Homo-oligomer: A and B are copies of this chain.
Amino acid sequence: MSVAPDAARPLTGVRIVEISSFVAVPLAGMTLGQLGAEVVRVDPIGGAADYHRWPLTGDGESIYWAGLNKGKRSVAADFRSPEGQDLVQRLISDSGVLITNVAGRQWHSYDTLTRLRPDLIHVEVSGRADGGTGVDYTVNAGIGFPMVTGPAEFAKPVNHVLPAWDVACGIYAALAVVTALRHRDATGRGQRINIPLENVALATAGNLSFFAEVMVNGTARERIGNSVYGQYGQDFTSSDGVSFMIVALTGRHFRDLTELTATTKAVAALADTLGADFTDEGERYRHRDALGGLFTEWFTQHTGDEIAAGLSATSVLWERYRTFADVVTEGRLSANPMFTPLDQPRIGQYLAPGLPLEIAGAYPPAVAAPALGDDTAAVLGEWLGMTSDEVGRLTESGTVA
């Protein structure tokens, strides 16, 4: 693979220290690395709480950890000893940027570190704005989505499987770093940024009106299964058991859907009967069950292949439901230029995603993740000018590994 041009690695020359675990901050660090920054994840000797997280290979290596720490360098140090803390502080001072979700540690707090590096950029992800703890699955439980997810007749909460808040929080953290870098370039001043995971979730739910409709209209979103709220969107299943998601946002999408399913006359008759105007997206949503009843017949009378061929010839937005295994076995990753073969030590070779931003025509590609401590000696040498003898003494004393 050719080296990406500079334009596609705009953060070249930026150094970042990451003290992290799990998803949000590792994703932030990986993203910044994919944009060209040199990101050193510093972990306690033995690894942080995520170093053995599932899924594992047959040999017990964490596929998960490799996935979220691609392209970083790894330093392992004794976080409990003054010598280890001092060393990590020196790395942070050298780099000028710390991203962390390990909150409340005095030795790498903003106040402590800005005495060593006044223009430090310090981005900390915490649980809740009130200082409480929280992880994606508890935050999600507390704000409302699980109570409206799943079949309409279901009464219990349904968690998401995607840790959506962690993912959003990680990208916000990367945004915070780059924004602060630009601000520092212009003013010479650092930044202190705190991102409570719960606030990412609350802001998002708020931006999407889930709270405003309670406050303004006195109504709250109901559980509507796989329907898309306020639009016509619904899932259907073929005669051979293949499920499809169908979305008709515009009048054209909707007309195409009625033509494909040979329901144009029946839909017009339904509109007459109900006094409904199906050129209005809200009316299509209100009467979705009646419309779905008309469309279902066509779907149940055709195979998945026939349905896919029919939909392909229309403007309707649609997709076949796939399992993760389907995505792989159908070759959808190998056909996508964002995925490249990655030879990941300890794990094996597989197709790994780069950054989902195509910059100047190319996706910054995946680079293998290190093993814990792979770069300890190199980083101490390059960043702090330590000799191999000095690193050797630190290793012997158990300060680094």
Residues of A within 8 A of B (CB): 7, 10-11, 23, 27, 30-31, 35, 49, 52-58, 63-64, 66-68, 70, 129-130, 133-135, 137-151, 154, 156-164, 167-168, 171-172, 174-176, 178-183, 185-186, 189, 191-196, 199-200, 202-217, 219-221, 225-226, 228-231, 233, 235, 237, 243-245, 247, 249-250, 281-282, 285, 317-329, 332-333, 335-339, 347-348, 350-361, 363
Please tell me if the beta carbons of B141 and A212 are within 8 angstroms of each other in the complex.
Answer: no
Please tell me if the beta carbons of A30 and B146 are within 8 angstroms of each other in the complex.
Answer: no
Please tell me if the beta carbons of A141 and B209 are within 8 angstroms of each other in the complex.
Answer: no
Please tell me if the beta carbons of A226 and B159 are within 8 angstroms of each other in the complex.
Answer: yes
A216 to B67, CA, bound (A): 12
| Other-chain residue from B156, B203, B351, B359 in contact with A356 (beta carbon distance below 8 A) | B203
Please tell me if the beta carbons of A324 and B160 are within 8 angstroms of each other in the complex.
Answer: no
* Identical copies in the complex: 2
A17 to B135, CA, bound (A): 36
A221 to B325, CA, bound (A): 9
Residues of B contacting A160 in the complex (Cβ-Cβ under 8 angstroms):
145, 149, 160, 162, 164
8 A-B residue pairings within 8 Å (CB atoms):
A52-B281, A64-B208, A129-B338, A137-B233, A138-B319, A141-B235, A171-B175, A215-B351
Residues of B contacting A150 in the complex (Cβ-Cβ under 8 angstroms):
149-151, 154, 158
